[in-house]
A and B are shown apart, each in its own frame.
Chain A
């Protein structure tokens, strides 16, 4: 890795001394073992306790390894909690939000960065101002607004649009995209303009292809945000009709009515898609995290 060359607190020369080497080995082993216990340990119980029988899951003292393995717990958790439906709902909300955010936020950032309309700066400042006020604080007026959109008098409660449309109002996305578009060399876009490309054509054929990294970052943020949200889908979907709830809400709801081993099996299955997603995209996620926050 490139950053292993970075000079840190303890110099490599110091580490290469025989005694330091032994200390380093001990510390390294300790850190790896302790961190694995702390961060993977709970996941071990999440996955194995779902395999226990109903009695064994609440037995005193708890068993480390299931005495009798009951894979059927997973099957009955799947059908009892309706995980298939929950998973479908959550994916539907998440990908719908992703598509709308990409279309509207990319277009808006491109306009603010490159087309520079009249009052563009004012609009951008007003968007950034929303970063000062976290969404949870506005939960009540947002709910009231979604239930009866001003001027249009539409009620979005229970429709996927209640999750999709508010997710577009994401100033952080627009900020990240605009900053990236700002850094594209003018010559490149001037060349497209001389060739007579319309703004839409320039966006599609010049800007988007070179913006793939930042679009990846924004997409990951968009999916994860919907996937992890709890309170808003609880209000606008579950509150309308429990069959429209998300994974998070559905499992929470099931937790008060089903047995402990079923709850754990359901939680474990709910965690699987995000774990796979993370393992595939971990490089992009970790890079995006620091890119998004550091240079703010």
Chain B
């Protein structure tokens, strides 16, 4: 008994101390290994995401002369606000966004409603709508540029055969919105991208409880009243989320205008988007390449987009109703 006590005493003391040390040690080790797992991704975020965000804001307030970078205050912002192209680019971007919403937002919704009603060929039709999304954008856009060609293009040939007036399509010179040039860009962009939205709507439609439709039928509701009073309210969350996502995506339009007009921005800049202008400021105006003005423009676009993506995040946090 006594032996046990004397034995137990030192034994019970030292494990207590070592247990505390152990716990700390284990905690440190556990955290070290946890951070070890994280470090690769965190470094990539730091270098290629977080730092560039900070850098964009800093660069927009700087200037570089003869290799020396110094503080410039609001000079870059004043310069871009005084550049008439800045306003042209914004007008075009808003025009593109609105047109793309009218076509690229409503069309997929009704296509999804239509597809959801069909009992046959579902898999085939779903694949069809999504097929263009998988194409390399350059392939799709060069094909559309070929269709749009005013002399030998397919679209003008179809219009000609139907005895309709032909068009210059993406090469139309007009600058008063809505321009034919921008409508052409929107048609190509919608063909390329509508698959994603359509399939998301389709999934949302399938989540609508069937009893709601049954109840509405008992109340004598017709097709359109069912769409208005059941389908749309039931998919409202997805509808508004996609609306915001689509605004954010379309306001960053670059490649469509760039390739359809072969690296340019349309006749009289009528398809020049804000991102096209950032590219021109930073990389394309030979000799006058200016990262600082481009950064200032980037900050302006970032602020505008942040409003919409903030709205998106706010919506997705709402409890689902």
Contact = CB atoms under 8 A, between A and B. Distances in A.
Contact of B143 (A38, A46, A198): A46
Interface in A50-81: 57-62
B152 A104 contact: no
B240 interface: no
Nearest to A230: B255
Contact of B119 (A15, A143, A251, A264): A15
B306 interface: yes
A21 B223 CA distance: 17
A42 B147 CA distance: 9
B31 interface: yes
A294 B128 CA distance: 21
Nearest to B44: A168
Contacts of A192: none
Interface in A263-296: 263-264, 267-268, 270-271, 274-275, 277-278, 282, 285-286, 289-290, 293-294, 296
A247 B231 CA distance: 42
Interface stretch (B18-26, B133-141, B176-184): B133-141
Contacts of A59: 152
Given A4-B119, A230-B138, A132 B41 contact: no
Pick the most buried of B35, B196, B231: most chain A CB atoms within 10 A of its CB.
B35
A61 B149 CA distance: 12
A115 interface: yes
A103 interface: yes
A11 B291 contact: no
Contacts of A46: 139, 143
Contact of B128 (A27, A40, A169, A267): A40
Contacts of A293: 200
Contacts of A61: 157, 160-161
Given A134-B305, A142-B52, A270-B136, A31 B114 contact: yes
B129 interface: yes
B235 to A, nearest CB: 11
Contacts of B55: 141, 144-145
A58 B154 CA distance: 10
B70 interface: no
B160 to A, nearest CB: 7
Given A165-B48, A252-B138, A120 B119 contact: no
B108 interface: no
B157 A11 contact: no
A206 interface: no
A231 interface: yes
A206 to B, nearest CB: 15
A166 interface: yes
Nearest to B290: A140
Contact of B59 (A3, A144, A277): A144
Nearest to B317: A296
- Chain A CB count within 10 A is highest, among B115, B119, B122, B258, for B119
A255 interface: yes
B130 A104 contact: no
Contact of A126 (B50, B129, B139, B291): B50
Interface of A is mostly: helix
B37 A110 contact: yes
Contacts of B87: none
Contact of A145 (B48, B211, B214): B48
Contacts of B259: 230, 252, 255
Contacts of A6: 206, 210
Interface string B148-169: 0101111001001100000000
Contacts of A144: 52, 55, 59, 291
Given A45-B143, A140-B294, 19 more contacts: A4-B122, A8-B210, A10-B117, A31-B118, A39-B128, A62-B154, A107-B38, A132-B313, A140-B291, A141-B59, A141-B298, A168-B48, A228-B136, A230-B254, A231-B254, A248-B136, A255-B259, A267-B139, A275-B131
Closest 8 CB pairs of A and B: A7-B210, A117-B34, A115-B34, A108-B41, A111-B37, A104-B40, A267-B139, A168-B44
29 contacts: A7-B209, A31-B114, A35-B125, A39-B129, A42-B147, A46-B139, A57-B152, A108-B37, A108-B41, A115-B34, A120-B34, A132-B310, A138-B298, A140-B298, A144-B52, A144-B291, A146-B48, A168-B48, A169-B47, A169-B49, A228-B136, A230-B258, A251-B142, A255-B262, A264-B146, A271-B136, A278-B130, A286-B127, A289-B196
Interface of A: 1, 3-4, 6-12, 15, 24, 27-28, 31-32, 35-36, 38-40, 42-43, 45-46, 49, 57-62, 103-105, 107-108, 110-112, 115-118, 120, 123, 126-127, 130-134, 136-146, 149-150, 165-166, 168-169, 171, 174, 198-199, 224, 227-228, 230-231, 235, 239, 247-249, 251-252, 255-256, 260, 263-264, 267-268, 270-271, 274-275, 277-278, 282, 285-286, 289-290, 293-294, 296
Interface of B: 30-31, 33-35, 37-38, 40-42, 44-45, 47-53, 55-56, 59, 113-132, 134-140, 142-147, 149, 151-154, 157, 160-161, 191, 196, 199-200, 202-206, 209-211, 213-214, 217, 223, 226-227, 231, 238, 241, 248-249, 252, 254-255, 258-259, 262-263, 275, 278-279, 282-283, 291, 294-295, 298, 301-302, 305-306, 309-310, 313, 316
